[in-house]
A and B are shown apart, each in its own frame.
Chain A
Amino acid sequence: MSLLEVQDLKVSYGGIQALKGISLSIAQGELVTLIGSNGAGKTTTLKALAGLLHPASGKINYQERSLLHIPAHQRVANGISLVPEGRGIFARLTVEENLLMGAYVRSDKAETAADLERQYVLFPRLAERRTQLAGTLSGGEQQMVAMARALMSHPTLLMLDEPSMGLAPLMVEKIFETIRDISAQGVTILLVEQNAKLALEAAQRGYVLESGAITLSGAASELLGSDAVQRAYLGA
């Protein structure tokens, strides 16, 4: 049974049709990746799922219910969390305040405090910097803040937009290691990446998005081996 079911989703803005009717589904607990080149519509897809963009037509069903009329800020309480492209860190808030913002929709104080400690175990670097302003952290540390903050909302579906962007190779490895950890804990993940190889290696299934349409889909290992993907994204 799928957690998220997207059917024939069309999104336009500024007169341009960014998504030309895509369909995809994600089962509970899966790690699915959406790959494609710049401008293919990956970020648009995530924004539409998070409620930041309004689709022109199509269906988004989450836990068997339509999301279309639920405003963005209420989708978080339903367990949908997006780590946006560029991270969306609150630079003038401390690391800890950023994480607490992640728990904004939760009212269980004791559980929240325990979760905060859990994030510091998952990201020890953040524990050292908890009282520092988030804007003073390095890019990789800011990515950690963004992910830890998203986890603070107890997401059922975690969506990550280009988590490796602008990071040094060592940091990219670390971030992907964490993504696997989070997935192993049972969180369903939709991962958008330009680094197709890394994404396909981490994911169980993948979709290839080209100019607003899905052109290929299947098991990540098959996509990784397919000629089309090799040629287009892996530079083989």
Chain B
Amino acid sequence: MDIFFQQIINGLVQGSVYALVALGYTMVYGILGLINFAHGEVVMIGAMIALTVLQSLLAAAFAPVLAVLLSLMAAVAVCMALGYSIERIAYRPLRNAPRLAPLITAIGVSIVLQNLAMMIWGREYHSFNLPFASTSHHLGGAVMNDVQIVIVIVALVIMAGLMWLVHQTRTGRAMRAVAENPAAATLMGVDINRVISVTFMLGSALAAIAGFMVSANYGIVHYYMGFMLGLKAFTAAVLGGIGNLRGAMLGGVLLGLIESLGAGYIGDLTGGFLGSHYQDVFAFFVLIAVLVFRPSGLLGEKLAERA
């Protein structure tokens, strides 16, 4: 039973990260119908920026808490600018092109960002250590440390804030209107380009925070880290129903749990034939299963417009 609770905790922590990244995929898809495959790299850039800023601030003898907060803010700011630029430079010129063109462009942007990061930060793994100790808490046999608790809480707060923004504010209303009918939104006086930029910037801010979280949790960053994380968050978005915000959150947490429980028990289930390093298989098994049996995802449903 101990391992069960431990895997639930691990799953929730990882699932929180997936959820934040999945929101970025799903928001952009909801508005543009585009899978922004460069989104995972934005997460990686966020982690790298945070690492660099954190290290230099600590070297300059900043107070640890201040250094962490400032490095997070720097990562968010850089990623928002990056997200804005990606849309402006790579996707906007292809707004009316066939759907395959922006998709291939997205993969191109992803490769460019990966290589750029490799040139700046090198091929090696960097350790990402927070400048304070993270106490472990024992919860009935399972262990959860401060960082993991903070990750789950911050993710919850951010998701609640995003839901408030999208459902209660004028900007959020405009986002939903553009997602549903861009021409009609224009007729209401909405500047579609502005709304699309805001969407990319919001998604990228969430990606930066997720990048910080995953680095702080595993203590390691690498120029290639965004690839697998991005694919899994995309899977989470598809699982929940792409284009649906609640779906992305649900899909993220579910995928984290599935992965974690799967990795924890795959050894027992296969009599030791397969080990926990097969963890990644579960995400893609889920992706294939969803695409085959419920392509619209768990919460993805469309309301028809009546004639």
Query: Contact residues of A with B, CB < 8 Å?
Result: 50-52, 71-74, 76-77, 81-82, 84, 86-93, 97, 100-102, 104-105, 133, 135-139, 142, 149, 153, 166
Q: Is the CB of B187 within 8 A of A139?
A: no
Residues of A within 8 A of B162 (CB): none
Tell me whether B306 and A138 are in contact (CB under 8 A).
yes
Task: Determine which of B176, B186, B191 lies in contact with A90 in the assembled complex, contact meaning CB atoms within 8 Å.
Answer: B176
Sorted from nearest, which 7 A-B pairs have the closest CB atoms? A88-B184, A76-B189, A105-B189, A135-B303, A101-B188, A104-B188, A91-B305
Given contacts A136-B303, A137-B306, A138-B306, contact A50 B176 (CB under 8 A): no
Complex CA gap A200/B181 in Å reads 31
Given contacts A90-B177, A97-B173, contact A81 B305 (CB under 8 A): no
Chain A residues with CB under 8 A of B170: 100, 104
B100 at the binding interface (Cβ < 8 Å): no
Chain A residues with CB under 8 A of B189: 73-74, 76-77, 104-105, 153
> A76 vs B185: C-alpha distance in the bound complex, in angstroms?
11
Nearest Cβ on chain B to A130's Cβ, whole angstroms: 15
Partner of A135, one of B177, B187, B304: B304
In the assembled complex, which residues on chain B have CB atoms less than 8 Å from the CB atom of A92? 176, 180, 303
Q: Is B174 among interface residues, defined by CB-CB distance under 8 A?
A: yes
Instruction: Report yes or no: A90 in contact with B181, Cβ–Cβ below 8 A.
Output: yes
Interface residue total, chain B, C-beta cutoff 8 A: 22
**Chain B residues with Cβ under 8 A from A90's Cβ?**
176-177, 180-181, 184-185
**Residue in contact with B187 in the complex, picked from A50, A91, A138, CB distance below 8 Å:** A50
**Residue from B183, B192, B303 within 8 A of A84 (CB atoms):** B183
Are the C-beta atoms of B187 and A81 separated by less than 8 Å?
A: yes
Q: Is A73 in contact with B191, judged by CB distance below 8 angstroms? A: yes
Least CB distance from B164 to A in Å reads: 15
Residues of A within 8 A of B188 (CB): 76, 101-102, 104-105, 149, 153
Q: Is B152 among interface residues, defined by CB-CB distance under 8 A?
A: no
Q: How far is the CA of A139 from the CA of B189 in the complex (A)?
A: 24
B190 CB–A CB distance under 8 Å? yes
Cα–Cα, bound, A1→B212 (Å) = 63
Is A142's CB under 8 angstroms from B180's CB?
Answer: no
Q: Which residues 159-205 of B sit at the A interface, judged by CB distance below 8 A?
A: 170, 173-174, 176-177, 180-181, 183-192
- Complex contacts, A51 vs chain B, CB 8 Å: 186
List chain A residues, Cβ under 8 A from B185: 90, 101
Q: How far is the CA of A105 from the CA of B186 in the complex (A)?
A: 11
Complex CA gap A102/B187 in Å reads 9
Contact of B190 among A73, A88, A89 (CB under 8 A): A73
Q: How far is the CB of B295 from chain A (nearest CB, A)?
A: 19
Query: Which chain B residues in 286-307 approach chain A with CB under 8 Å?
Result: 303-307
Which of B170, B180, B192 has the most C-beta atoms of chain A within 10 angstroms of its own C-beta? B180
| A88 CB to nearest chain B CB (Å) | 3
- Specify the chain B residue showing the minimal Cβ separation from A141: B306
Taking CB atoms, residues of chain A closer than 8 Å to B176 are 90, 92-93, 97
**CA–CA, A135 and B181, complex, Å:** 13
- B180: A residues at CB distance < 8 A: 90-93
**Assembled-state Cα–Cα distance A11/B184 (Å):** 21
A72 CA to B306 CA, complexed, in Å: 25
Listed residue (A89, A133, A166) with the most chain B CB atoms within 10 angstroms of its CB: A89
Residues in A neighbouring B192, C-beta threshold 8 A: 73
Nearest CB to that of A93 among chain B residues?
A: B176
* Complex alpha-carbon distance, A71 and B189, angstroms: 10
B183 touching A101, Cβ below 8 Å = no
